[in-house]
């Protein structure tokens, strides 16, 4: 059974560079036999958080929110592709994530960060770790961090230069770590009901 991995990306900017990393991850996970799907916050277009999914009466959530809730519940694992805005999280990705809670529970998550500079989104990665843990996900210890994103991946998400080569070397461990936790969590959910 292929691991169903949702890859979340949250930039709303006109000249998005991080989509290159998201595209790379979709392709790289598929090449390993997983079933990845890109979830682009901008394309889904949820409103600024007013009501969480669980706060709508059954069947009355907006269609895009209802469809995404079903995808999250059916997924085995998540990857959050995050840029860094002023040492913090991208508001588009954070807003999308905050619409849900119980849907995230008991699945692993991994973080892939990027920036135009040399710090590669490290501050955002640290911030996301605590957020995802609080939302009921097990955050794997392996991360990806891509600096100078515009030079590390071409427009089609293929690695280029030294930065791209470093990403290609780091990805297998990142994917192995997520894959191990994905299998462990799926097996556990199948044998023992979650405690809440």
Q: What is the pLDDT of residues 25-72, one digit of tens each?
A: 999 999 999 999 999 999 999 999 999 999 999 999 999 999 999 999
In this prediction, residues 178-196 reach a mean pLDDT of 94
Please tell me the distance from the alpha carbon of residue 32 to that of residue 123, in angstroms, as a whole number. 29
Task: Give pLDDT, residue 195.
Answer: 86
Query: Does residue 41 lie within any of the structural domains?
Result: yes
d(CA 46, CA 32): 31
Q: Is the pLDDT of residue 87 over 90?
A: no
Residue 187: inside a domain: yes
Instruction: Decide if 59 is inside a domain.
Output: yes
Domain membership flag for residue 136: yes
Query: Cα–Cα distance between 93 and 97 in angstroms, integer?
Result: 6
What does the pLDDT read at residue 194? 86
Confidence (pLDDT) at 93: 97
Average model confidence (pLDDT) for the chain?
96
Q: Is residue 196 part of a domain?
A: no
Q: How many other C-beta atoms lie within 10 A of the C-beta of residue 170?
A: 16
pLDDT computed for residue 32 by the predictor: 97
Domain harbouring 108, CATH code: 3.40.50.360
Q: What are phi and psi of 15, to 5 degrees?
A: -105, 65
Q: How many CA atoms lie within 13 A of 43 on its CB side?
A: 8
Q: Strand pairing of 35-40 and 4-9?
A: parallel
Higher pLDDT, 103 or 87: 103
Question: How many domains does the chain divide into?
Answer: 1
Domain membership flag for residue 165: yes
Average pLDDT over residues 92-105: 97
User: What is the pLDDT at residue 65?
Assistant: 98
pLDDT on residue 196: 82
pLDDT of residue 72: 98
| pLDDT confidence bin for 18, thresholds 50/70/90 | very high
Q: Note down the domain range covering 43.
A: 4-191
Q: Is residue 43 part of a domain?
A: yes
Chain length of the chain: 196
Q: What's the rounded Cα separation, in Å, for the pair 25 and 131?
A: 22
pLDDT at 3 over 90: yes
Task: Specify the 3-state DSSP secondary structure of 40.
Answer: strand
Q: Which of 178, 68, 87, 174 is nearest to 125 (CA)?
A: 87
């Amino acid at each position: 059974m292929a691991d169903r991995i949702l890859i979340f990306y949250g930039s709303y900017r006109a000249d998005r560079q991080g989509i290159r990393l998201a595209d790379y991850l979709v392709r790289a996970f598929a090449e390993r036999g997983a079933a990845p799907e890109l979830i682009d916050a901008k394309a889904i277009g949820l409103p600024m958080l007013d009501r969480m999914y669980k706060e709508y009466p059954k069947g009355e959530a907006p269609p895009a929110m209802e469809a995404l809730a079903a995808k999250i519940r059916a997924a085995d694992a998540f990857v959050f592709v995050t840029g860094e805005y002023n040492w913090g999280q991208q508001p588009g990705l954070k807003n999308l994530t905050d619409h849900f809670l119980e849907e995230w529970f008991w699945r692993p998550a991994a973080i892939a960060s990027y920036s135009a500079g040399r710090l590669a989104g490290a501050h955002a990665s640290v911030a996301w770790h605590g957020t995802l843990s609080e939302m009921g996900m097990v955050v794997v210890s392996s991360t990806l961090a891509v600096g100078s994103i515009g030079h590390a991946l071409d427009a089609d998400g293929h690695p280029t230069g030294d930065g791209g080569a470093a990403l290609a070397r780091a990805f297998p461990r990142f994917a192995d770590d997520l894959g191990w936790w994905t299998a462990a969590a799926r097996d556990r959910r199948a044998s023992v009901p979650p405690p809440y």
